Amino acid sequence: MNPRQQTRMTAWIACEDDLPAVFDGPILVLFSTGSTETVHCEDYFAPITNGLDEQGNQKWTRFYIQQEVTHWALVPAPPTH
């Protein structure tokens, strides 16, 4: 890969370092199995209900934890011509 190609590649970010801002659109995710997929950001990173705690308070989680997403990246912009 030449230097120009490297600068155009999307940077992968570890979920433990930073999470994407939740928006209505696609992102790339890397699963712990090694599979790379395009997913809808809101579906994976917006808080979702996860039962109640011992005191009856609502618990929250994010789907990426349940699906073992380790890294994410923004989808590159499509070509303009």
Please give the mean pLDDT across all residues of the chain.
83
Distance between alpha carbon 8 and the CA centroid of its chain, in Å? 20
The helices-and-strands tally (H runs, E runs) of the chain is 3, 6
Look up residue 76 and give its two tokens: 């590159």
3-state secondary structure at position 27: strand
Name, of 7-16, 34-43, 47-56, the range with top average pLDDT.
Answer: 34-43
pLDDT score of 37 more than 60? yes
pLDDT score of 41 more than 70? yes
For residue 71, the model assigns a pLDDT of: 95
pLDDT band at 10 (very low <50, low <70, confident <90, very high): low
- Exposed/middle/buried for residue 41 (C-beta within 10 Å: 0-12, 13-18, 19+): buried
